[in-house]
Chains A and B, each alone.
Chain A
Amino acid sequence: MVLHLIRDQFPILNQEVNGHPLVYLDSAATSQKPLSVLQVLDDYYKSYNSNVHRGVHTLGTKATDAYELAREKVRKFINARSTEEVVFTRGTTTSLNMIAYGYARIFLKPGDEIVISIMEHHSNLIPWQQAAKATGATLKYFPLQSDGTLSLEDIKQTITEKTKIVAITHVSNVLGTVNPIKDIVRIAHEKGAIVVVDGAQAAPHFAVDVQDLDCDFYAFSGHKMLGPTGIGVLYGKKALFEKMEPVEFGGEMIDFVELYDSTWKELPWKFEAGTPIIAGAIGLAKAIDFLQSVGFDTIQKHEQQLMEYALNKLGEIKGVTIYGPREASRRSGVITFNIDGVHPHDVATVLDTEGIAIRAGHHCAQPLMKWLKVTATARASFHIYNTMEDIDRLAEGLLKSKEFFTHAF
């Protein structure tokens, strides 16, 4: 598909904001959704909305088929061995909390170690802090290199025989750093630790193969990869899922319920208590179709071009500091920066008056902000629908912010 045709699939982009054509550079917070995704949601609610895995009526069967077909699509998308390893959740945060509650809190003992990195999003940090407090395990951090990357040497040093869980982001939502998951998994497995990967910023941008990575758990969200909000995925190796206890109990997840005891359904349903996110799963499957019809090769190539162009263009502006690795090839999707003397909120407001949407703040990564020695930053993030012109508009907006705050007063 040609780029402008792809862009046409996202009607939301075709509007004016504050008198200017919208430039949406906040896809790392949530991506926009193509027409095909909106259509399947509409179709589901208009023609076969029904609960799944119960009842014998026709609509119920249709909904169940669509829901389970979505699971199969996700399985293929991440190359899991079977659909037993694919659990639908509310999103990455829920997925990570499920492991912290259903695995870490059950199996960790005092003296065990959990290792994470300083670049983690709060959702891959606080669940481990809490699990460590609850079990008496020790929480440790991989240090960062000055450009915001991890070094293999540090990884080897930090993971010890006592380490039971390593939880790491695939791509940093602030620095854009792509972490060496395969190396981390190999080193962790040698020491007997399992590896949990936060894939929220990876799955939207490049092909993820959980068997190739050999990670034990992989979590991601639908809404950052052109799908609807409220749907996410937790992949887990079958043997681990079998050992794990459900975190939520109730309808849908049971086998037999007696007065004083109950048994659970088999995988993956034992982890899906209550009416599942049916429309969300169907929408996510359609988003996967869309990503695959464009092709991750095309997506990556386009985003790399945008990244290279943005790194150059923003790098040329005097007083702009860009965080994270300077080589486009070592990062994905996001470019985080600050302008000397202008607070990122003020930058975001000036850009907003120009119709440009970026994120400003701590990006749910306060420990990383501390490490960067800033309280907040501005962040622009891309997806397939962004153009070089969007980057030009961003650069013009930044020059204007700088001008406005240095000379206007």
Chain B
Amino acid sequence: MPSNNLETLYRQVIMDHYKKPRNKGILEDGNVTIDMNNPTCGDRIRLTMKEENGKIADVKFEGEGCSISMASASMMTDVIKGKDTETALRLAHIFSEMIQGKEYETSEDLGDIEALSGVSKFPARIKCATLAWKAMEKGLLKNQSES
């Protein structure tokens, strides 16, 4: 039987996102494209977003990596799709606090994302979980400064 320890990290919902990733692919009509990698381990992600009128109308990701990094990307795209840019950036901040094991704001509905809170107990894996979120943050901020 798997140990409890492992189950804190690999929650069922995480494995579901890993095995059946949502929003996988490249957006042909996107206006934000961001490539990011984790140079220490080789994980990489390409995030494409369609941001219009302050909203993330659509988002897709493509990449390679471990279960935590890919599940986190899938969950992230799921939760930010249709949200306004500010909410997405706020979620990125909340996620960052949560994943480091800090107190985090509970006013936003995190949905599946809360399943990743167990990653904070595995410091070596925090970078895996944050890759997609960092890409999203960087993409949106870059778009803001350009427009």
Chain B residues numbered 83-133 whose CB sits less than 8 Å from any CB in chain A: 122, 124-125, 128
* Closest Cβ–Cβ distance, residue B132 to chain A (whole Å): 15
A343 within 8 A of B: yes
B128 contact set on A, CB distance < 8 A: 345
Could you tell me the dominant secondary structure of chain A's interface residues?
helix
B27 within 8 A of A: no
A276 within 8 A of B: no
Bound complex: CA of A207 vs CA of B67, how far in Å? Answer: 42
Q: Are B66 and A345 in contact (CB under 8 A)?
A: yes
The total of chain A residues at the interface (CB under 8 A) is: 22
B16 within 8 A of A: yes
Q: Are A343 and B67 in contact (CB under 8 A)?
A: yes
* Closest Cβ–Cβ distance, residue A316 to chain B (whole Å): 22
* Closest Cβ–Cβ distance, residue B15 to chain A (whole Å): 4
If A343-B66, A349-B124, A349-B125 touch, whether A376 touches B42 (CB-CB below 8 Å) is: yes
| A404 to B, closest residue via Cβ | B2
B5 within 8 A of A: yes
B147 within 8 A of A: no
If A350-B6, A353-B3, A361-B41 touch, whether A345 touches B12 (CB-CB below 8 Å) is: no
Bound complex: CA of A362 vs CA of B38, how far in Å? Answer: 11
* Closest Cβ–Cβ distance, residue A153 to chain B (whole Å): 32
* Closest Cβ–Cβ distance, residue A280 to chain B (whole Å): 25
If A353-B6, A404-B2 touch, whether A369 touches B42 (CB-CB below 8 Å) is: yes
Bound complex: CA of A409 vs CA of B2, how far in Å? Answer: 11
If A361-B42, A375-B42 touch, whether A343 touches B65 (CB-CB below 8 Å) is: yes
Most chain A beta-carbon neighbours within 10 Å: one of B16, B41, B125: B41
* Closest Cβ–Cβ distance, residue A126 to chain B (whole Å): 13
| A376 to B, closest residue via Cβ | B42
A108 within 8 A of B: no
| B11 to A, closest residue via Cβ | A409
| B67 to A, closest residue via Cβ | A346
B9 contact set on A, CB distance < 8 A: 349
A9 contact set on B, CB distance < 8 A: none
| A366 to B, closest residue via Cβ | B42
Contact of A353 among B5, B44, B65, B67 (CB under 8 A): B5
Q: Are B122 and A349 in contact (CB under 8 A)?
A: yes
| B38 to A, closest residue via Cβ | A361
A375 contact set on B, CB distance < 8 A: 42-44, 64-65
A352 contact set on B, CB distance < 8 A: 124
B56 within 8 A of A: no
Bound complex: CA of A26 vs CA of B5, how far in Å? Answer: 23
Q: Are A404 and B6 in contact (CB under 8 A)?
A: yes
B68 within 8 A of A: yes
> A65-97, CB under 8 A of B: which get 1 and which 0?
000000000000000000000000000000000
Bound complex: CA of A360 vs CA of B128, how far in Å? Answer: 13
Bound complex: CA of A41 vs CA of B2, how far in Å? Answer: 43
> B1-29, CB under 8 A of A: which get 1 and which 0?
01101100110100110010000000000
Bound complex: CA of A409 vs CA of B10, how far in Å? Answer: 9
| B122 to A, closest residue via Cβ | A349
Kindly state the interface size class of chain B when it binds its partner.
20 to 34
Q: Are A376 and B3 in contact (CB under 8 A)?
A: no
B53 within 8 A of A: no
Q: Are B125 and A409 in contact (CB under 8 A)?
A: no
Most chain B beta-carbon neighbours within 10 Å: one of A343, A400, A408: A343
A349 contact set on B, CB distance < 8 A: 6, 9, 122, 124-125
| B37 to A, closest residue via Cβ | A375
Contact of A346 among B2, B42, B66 (CB under 8 A): B66
B145 within 8 A of A: no
B68 contact set on A, CB distance < 8 A: 345-346
Bound complex: CA of A110 vs CA of B24, how far in Å? Answer: 46
A321 within 8 A of B: no
A151 within 8 A of B: no
If A345-B68, A409-B12 touch, whether A361 touches B40 (CB-CB below 8 Å) is: yes
Bound complex: CA of A409 vs CA of B67, how far in Å? Answer: 13
* Closest Cβ–Cβ distance, residue A175 to chain B (whole Å): 17
Contact of A345 among B6, B15, B19, B41 (CB under 8 A): B41
Contact of B125 among A18, A345, A362, A369 (CB under 8 A): A345
Chain A residues numbered 332-369 whose CB sits less than 8 Å from any CB in chain B: 343-346, 349-350, 352-353, 360-362, 366, 369
Bound complex: CA of A360 vs CA of B40, how far in Å? Answer: 10
Chain A residues numbered 366-409 whose CB sits less than 8 Å from any CB in chain B: 366, 369, 375-376, 400, 403-405, 408-409
| B1 to A, closest residue via Cβ | A408
B16 contact set on A, CB distance < 8 A: 409
A376 contact set on B, CB distance < 8 A: 41-43
What is A's interface to B at a CB cutoff of 8 Å? 18, 343-346, 349-350, 352-353, 360-362, 366, 369, 375-376, 400, 403-405, 408-409
Shortest Cβ-Cβ A-B pairs, 3 listed = A345-B66, A343-B66, A409-B15
Return 5 A-B CB contacts under 8 Å, by A number: A343-B67, A345-B66, A345-B68, A375-B65, A405-B15
